[in-house]
Structure 1
Amino acid sequence: MLELARGVSQWAHGFKNAVIFLFNTGEEEGLNGAHSFVTQHPWSDTVRIAVDLEAMGIGGKSSIFQAGPHPWAIENFASVAKYPSAQIVAQDIFSSGAIKSATDFQVYKELAGFSGLDFAYVDNTAVYHTKNDKLKLLRPGSLQHLGENMLAFLLHAAASPSLPESKAVESDVESNEEKAIYFDILGTYMITFRQRLANMLYNSIIMQSLLLWTTSLLMGGSSAVTSLALACLSLVLMWIFSISFSAAIAFVLTIISSSPVPFVAYPWLALCLFGAPALLGAFTGQHVGFIILESYLARTFTERRRNLPANLRTCLAKLDAERWIFKSGLVQWFVLLMLGNYYRIGSSYLALAWLASPAFAYGFLEATLSPTRLPKPLKSATILIGLSVPFLLSSGMVIRLSATIIGTSVRFVRNPGASPEWLGNIILAIFIAAIVCLTMVYLLSYIHISGAKVPLIVATSSLLVISLVAVWGGIVPPFTEDIARAVNVVHVVDATRVNGGDLEPVSYISMFSTTPGNLIKEADHIGEGFACGRARYSDFVTFSVNYSCWTDKGAGTGWLKSDIPSIHVAKDTRGESRETQILIDTTISTRWSLGINTGEIEDFHLKDADSDELITLGEKSSVDGWHTIQFSGGRKAPTKFHLSLFWSRNSTQTATAGDEHLLRLRTDVDRLTPPMETILGKLPPWCSLFGKSTSPHTLAFLSSLPVSF
């Protein structure tokens, strides 16, 4: 950003619009910097376009993964960017909620109503937010790519007299069908068009397809209808077999590998482990459907063409079955296009490309150029012409999306131990199987009557076996020193627990990981008396730990009882509207997280000791029955707070077995205690400390207030 500011300053003469460079803090603590700017800074009212430079990795291309709602920014970026990289597919996925994350752009767009662009690096996702997030892994070309594109766009936007006049409301833009559809072609050219044009184009293709299919089936009669149904059966079997084969490997990996995600350090291994069985399963399922279809067509040819020799009728049945299998791929993408068009999904252009291009090639080469009505083998030109455009549009997106999903598996689990070890692999397996079924459906139809069946089976099976052997034998390690497993090691002082019937806090060193898999290998490497399992549940307010490794060795040193935060009930007024005044003292900590039970508390008010209002009265949101507050301040930040709780009218006001806490508090201290120094010094080289806004510091104090205080 500093280099961009320097570059912009060299061209500032003649600008019609100012360029504001906003260096945010508190992004990981809850988008605090962006929120403060749009709600408190006077310049926020002058903003017309917002650009967010994000990252969920440390390299590669800086790609646009969100744009809008007004189309001006993305359309003008496409016209001036030298090396554009943008896919509305990423925006569709992000907007769907599949990625449990948010960026400053969410604040700009949803709270302030700004339109603009959201960029992010996505390579090396596995090391993001870990100690391995090092400058040496950031390639200069990545910065250069972002710099050249952004400088061109900023100069264009600053000099443009046609910026959007008012803040765009996303619902208004969508209702006017002016939302932009955008994608790049191999990072060299970018295409944008409006939703209005997309609707016209999609509806036209859908209507033409319906007309062609209806006419074809009416002319073919019941035989054509049955053939299409059996071809669609082969499509269903293809999906079932492909997902089943690929998902089976996800379970196998948890048995044969020391880590259920052995491909983090070497992402290509995931494509071998899941892509090979997905392709083998897709072909197997489709071939089963092909055999059923061929058998039906052979009977049909026997009835309709009795004058032909039996061997010729069998050959013609195979050729006709091949064509129907190819057509089933058209049906698949036709259904996806209709669904995408109905729900206004931006990435529906992919379904259009995968439907229209193969259909044109098939119709032009197989129908108009065929001298006879007898079935003939599909021509190689059909597949070359039909798939060149779809593969060109899809290949870059598929590679980037696959790499991102594989990289994020290193921190797939939000609450360690709460999800099965195989869950992340299942998601990845289904994704790869879906990509195989969607993109290989046409190509596989050529193999059933060719001599490539055996080579395909042998090649995919061999690749799978070699990959499994490499994982089982440890030839390819799951983690390396540069791309390591993300772990948290925390010295916990838990005052919510009861030790031997008294009120003494329990202290221990806890090691847990957001990466699926156990920590036995890591615990054995460290020593220090670690035990692993689910016997020690830890509630860190922002997340919970169901599986961990822990040790009590030396855990009583490095902290004082006076460091433990206190929650004191100052006043409790009972009646029809019960109100409770709470005094909270976080002692030495200026970074804390507080959970408030919204099943009991309807509203609350928070002030610091100087009576500065931090949270006002009003409607409060909750997740799983809890409203969570995260506070992070500097050295002079307050440590004493007044919390007013207003109870719900239907509150039980008594503790229950399933939900006994009214308040849950975690205070963080950035201090290395003696036992922590020892353990961190022995941390395996394939592990790296993981830190996010929801993660505790190296010393964490836990306390709570029961409902029946």
Structure 2
Amino acid sequence: MVAKYPSGQIIAQDLFLSGFIKSATDFQVYKEVAGLSGLDFAYTDAGAVYHTKNDKLKLLKPGSLQHLGENMLAFLLQTAASSRFLSDKAIETSEDISQDQAIYFDIMGTYMIVYRQRLASMLQNSVIIQALLIWTTSLLMGGYPAAASLALSFISILIMWIFSLSFSVLVAFLLPLICSSPLPYIASPWLVIGLFGAPAFIGALTGQHVGYLILQKYLWHASSKREQKRSPAIQAELIKLEAERWLFKAGSVQWLLILMVGNFYKVGSSYIAVIWLASPAFAYGFLEATLSPVRSPKPLKIVTLLLGITVPIIISAGILIRLVGTITGIMVLFDRNPGTKPEWLGNVMVAVFVAAIICLTSVYVLSYIHLSDAKRSIFLATGALFGLTLSLVLSGIVPPFTEDVARAVNVVHVVETTGQYGENQNPFSYISLFSPTPGKLMKEVEHVKEEGFICGKEKVIDFVTFRVEYGCWSSDDTLRGWSKADIPTLHVESDEKGDGRSTQISIDTKVSTRWSLAINTHKIADFKFEENSDELVPVGNKIGIHGWHIIQFAGGKNAPTKFNLTLFWVKNYAQLTHKPDAQRRDQHLLLKLRTDVDRLTPKSERVLTKLPTWCSLFGKSTSPNTLAFLSSLPVDF
């Protein structure tokens, strides 16, 4: 409320909490683990460069830091002035918390609207009840013909959704087949308008026009049963106008259903449905006089459309555009386990989101087009936009990646060992090239073809925190740049078997102070992790994801490298059996360890030098460094 230039939308929070956007900020741990409340600030533009070398200050829009600083300063000053009034509150129930949840959104970065969920529920319930009463009264007065007309007009909305989604999703499936990259819009997000927005709009208009013709046919049939004093030509024209009005009103029914669902589940962003329902309904009632016209229909006034959608567009257009940009940006890091997701999946997500926005926001506009002389021109112009955009992509004039907005890749010199090799033998060593961006690496490998890379899904690499199921690897000239002294060790110090079996293991990560350790929770009920006599992870409250508990450690130059791990086995561990599946292919392993070393070997350095400029190393807490050692301990050690 005190921010100088407020910018915040609860719809973004709703999408994060729903899991649709697979991302988070550093505030997440404070909220989920400690249950603390606070303000979360994030930049959403140029999401494709996050955690790469291209994540530079120069990519921030001018004034972004100043904007954040002024808002933060105003907030801190207000908080400091009010701190003496703050006091500890009694523990609130989940119901109290849900009722006190803040609903917030800004209007063009100038005003911030904030109110509680309790008020939102009251407002939304009021709008829903009034809308239902109006519609019920209208249908009772209009009788069966009105009910049938409403049903058919709403069917036109459903057909609109089906056509719009189908056209847009079809393009999403085709792009990986005809383009060098399945995501050709990463460096130029505006391509989404032509690639997905244009076909979605054509589909929406086509689908609704099909529904319009069905509705028009019914109205003509219904009018033929009544005594008519008008000529057939005049009557046909009036039926077209009546069908146009029913389609406009069906748009409000669409938003009414969305509002009812959002209100039932207490979705904070349901305020958008209120605005898109109330404003057009008010404009229609104010300018067109009645919901179910008893007089001869007249053409819908253009001012009805302008008055009805101006406020909704002002309030929601900015956030919807930013959300499309955000979703487009995160597609570059969409495949967290490279090779596990289909190439078309990211496109389909973007296509569905764009088509949904088109159907939701243009539903009132479309009803005006069916009687318009500009219908053909609109079809041709939208089709031309799609064709032009697609030609720019296929010709390479607009590349999928650039030097500034590059494809995220990882080049890792991997040394795999289970500790079972002799003095004159070497563990398996190779260079792994993979990318969290959907799509194959054929064009990238062309630049390093003399390094002997093979690409495919034949070799699955388990990096403990994630898996690589599609990538490229080369074992030529990979024995230099590391030594056996760098290989970590997992040594069983003691193993006391029985009902209460416990095992002590010493771990030496050698030159690495950044590592990830996975513990099989199907076999291990609990464990204790120590460094000398310091207990780093105490016994109790252990959970696993897909059968593994993962510990990640990152220390400085003088961080410890020797640890003690005490494992407490589950009872009847020997009798436990599990069906093998994609996530339990390594069920025969008790421990998995990856140690990272920030070192370039001669082979990895050559590969990085030869990679094209549109590639950028991706680095996150779960990602390996350029040199990684993979070790494991089998269950039957």
TM-score category by the smaller chain?
over 0.9
Which amino acid is the alignment partner of residue 472 of structure 2? C
Distance 1:654 1:662, change over 3 A: farther
* 1:85 matches 2:13: no
Residue 7 of structure 1: aligned partner: none
Tell me how far 1:111 sits from its aligned partner.
3.5
Q: Which residue of 2 aligns with 1:462?
A: 384
Contact 1:130–1:688 (CA under 8 A) maintained in structure 2: yes
Post-superposition Cα deviations, 1:329-375, rounded to whole Å, max 9, x if no partner, equal 11111011111111111111100000000000011111269997111
Distance (whole Å) between structure 2 residues aligned to residue 631 and residue 484 of structure 1: 29
* Structure 2 CA distance for aligned equivalents of residues 498 and 531 of structure 1: 26
Evaluate the alpha carbon distance shift between residue 125 and residue 275 of structure 1 in structure 2; reply closer, same or farther with a 3 A threshold.
same
Q: Tell me which residue corresponds to 2:462.
A: 539
Select which of 512, 526, 532 maps to 1:589: 512
**d(CA) in 2 for partners of 1:277 and 1:680?**
39
How far the C-alpha of 1:114 sits from its partner, in A, is 3.1
- Distance change (3 Å), C-alpha of 1:370 and 1:680: closer
User: Higher relative contact order at CA 8 Å, sep ≥6: structure 1 or structure 2?
Assistant: 2
Per-residue CA deviations over 1:201-254 (Å, capped at 9, x if unaligned) read 111111111111111111111111111111111111111111110011111110
Structure 2 residue 115 is the aligned partner of structure 1 residue 187: no
1:322-361 alignment to 2 at 5 Å? 322-361=244-283
Match of residue 405 from structure 1: 327
Indicate the residue corresponding to 1:598 in structure 2.
521
Cα distance between partner residues in 1 of 2:613 and 2:85: 51
Are the counterparts in 2 of residues 199 and 341 from structure 1 also a CA contact under 8 Å? yes
For residues 80-126 of structure 1, give each alpha carbon's deviation from its aligned partner in whole angstroms, at most 9, with x where no partner exists: 21111000111111122223344332333344343321111111111
* CA distance, structure 2, for counterparts of residue 257 and residue 558 of structure 1: 38
Q: Is the 8 A contact 2:593 2:631 kept in 1?
A: yes
In the alignment, which residue of structure 2 is the partner of 1:481?
A: 403
Indicate whether 1:147 and 2:75 are aligned.
Answer: no
Contact 1:257-1:472 within 8 A present in 2 as well: yes
In structure 2, the residue matched to 1:62 is none
Q: Would the aligned equivalents of 2:509 and 2:595 in 1 still touch at CA under 8 Å?
A: yes
Q: Distance in 2 between matches of 1:141 and 1:480?
A: 24
Q: Tell me how far apart the structure 1 counterparts of residues 38 and 505 of structure 2 sit (CA, whole Å).
A: 43
Say whether residues 1:318 and 2:240 are aligned partners. Answer: yes
Mapped to 2, the partners of 1:150 and 1:176 lie a distance apart of 26
* Code of the aligned partner of 2:345: L
State whether residues 526 and 684 of structure 1, in contact with CA within 8 Å, keep that contact through their aligned partners in structure 2: no
Question: Is 2:31 the partner of 1:109?
Answer: yes
Does the CA contact (< 8 Å) of 2:461 and 2:469 recur in 1?
A: yes
1:170: how far off?
Answer: 7.0
- Which aligned pairs between 1:192-231 and structure 2 lie closer than 5 A? 192-231=114-153
1:618 alignment counterpart: 540
Structure 1 residues 383 and 276: CA distance shift in structure 2, 3 A: same
Deviations 1:123-142 (A, max 9, x none): 11111110111222234411
For 1:172 and 1:696, the matched residues in 2 are separated by 40
Determine if the alignment matches structure 1 residue 556 to structure 2 residue 479.
yes
Matches for 1:287-686 after TM superposition, within 5 Å: 287-367=209-289, 373-496=295-418, 504-527=426-449, 528-608=451-531, 610-652=532-574, 658=585, 659-686=587-614
Q: Residue type matched to 2:601 in 1?
A: T
- TM-score where L is the length of structure 1: 0.86
**Match for 2:619 among 677, 691, 696?**
691
SS in 1 for 2:622: coil
Task: Find the residue that maps to 1:427 and give its secondary structure.
Answer: helix
CA separation of 1:381 and 1:559: change in aligned 2, threshold 3 A:
same
Partners of 2:634 and 2:174 in 1: how far apart?
Answer: 44
Code of the residue aligned with 1:661 in structure 2: it is L
Aligned residues: 629
Could you tell me which amino acid in structure 1 is paired with residue 166 of structure 2? S
Deviation readout 1:46-85 (Å, 9 max, x if unpaired): xxxxxxxxxxxxxxxxxxxxxxxxxxxxxxxx2x211110
Counterpart for residue 241 of structure 1: 163
Conserved 8 A contact 1:273-1:464: yes
Asked if 2 retains the 8 angstrom alpha-carbon contact of 1:115 and 1:168, the reply is no
| C-alpha distance in 1 between matches for 2:235 and 2:245 | 15
Contact map agreement 1:256 1:471 (CA 8 A) in 2: no
Question: Alignment partner of 2:493: what SS?
Answer: strand
Alpha-carbon displacement from aligned partner over 1:24-58 (angstroms, at most 9, x marks no partner): xxxxxxxxxxxxxxxxxxxxxxxxxxxxxxxxxxx
Q: Would the aligned equivalents of 1:655 and 1:661 in 2 still touch at CA under 8 Å?
A: no
Distance 1:391 1:184 in 2: 13
**Residues 148 and 170 of structure 1, relative CA distance in 2, 3 Å threshold:** farther
State the distance in 1 between where 2:265 and 2:516 align: 39
Give the percent of matched residue pairs that are identical in Structure 1 and Structure 2.
61
Alpha-carbon contact 1:114-1:168 (below 8 Å) kept? no
Cα pair 2:142 2:292 within 8 Å, conserved? no
1:704 equivalent in alignment to 2:627: no
| Alignment-mate amino acid for residue 459 of structure 1 | A
Conserved 8 A contact 1:595-1:664? yes
Partners of 1:289 and 1:266 in 2: CA distance: 35
Distance 1:174 1:432, change over 3 A: farther
1:465 maps to a residue whose letter is G
| Alpha-carbon shift at residue 188 of structure 1 (Å) | 1.2
Aligned counterpart, 2:49 = 127
Contact 2:419-2:489 within 8 A present in 1 as well: no
Q: What amino acid maps onto 2:597 in structure 1?
A: V
* Counterpart amino acid of residue 217 in structure 2: S
Q: Structure 1, unaligned stretches of length 5 or more?
A: 1-77
Q: 1:251 aligns with which of 169, 173, 176?
A: 173
* Bigger shift: residues 634-643 or 81-90: 634-643
The answer (yes or no) to whether the contact 1:157–1:163 under 8 Å persists in 2 is no
266, 275, 284: which is aligned to 2:197? 275
2-side partners of 1:295 and 1:497: how far apart?
78
Deviation at 1:316, TM superposition (A): 1.5
The whole-number CA distance in structure 2 between the counterparts of 1:503 and 1:300 is 88
Q: What letter is aligned with 1:622?
A: G
* SS, match of residue 126 in structure 2: helix
Structure 2 stretches lacking a partner, 5+ long: none
Counterpart Cα distance in 2 of 1:672 and 1:708: 35
Give the superposed CA RMSD: 2.0
Structure 1's 553 and 372: CA in aligned 2 closer, same or farther, altered over 3 A?
Answer: same
Q: 8 Å contact 1:655–1:706 — kept in the other structure?
A: no
Which letter does structure 1 place at the counterpart of 2:434?
F
Cα displacement string for residues 533-558 of structure 1 (whole angstroms, at most 9, x for unaligned residues): 11111000000000001111211111
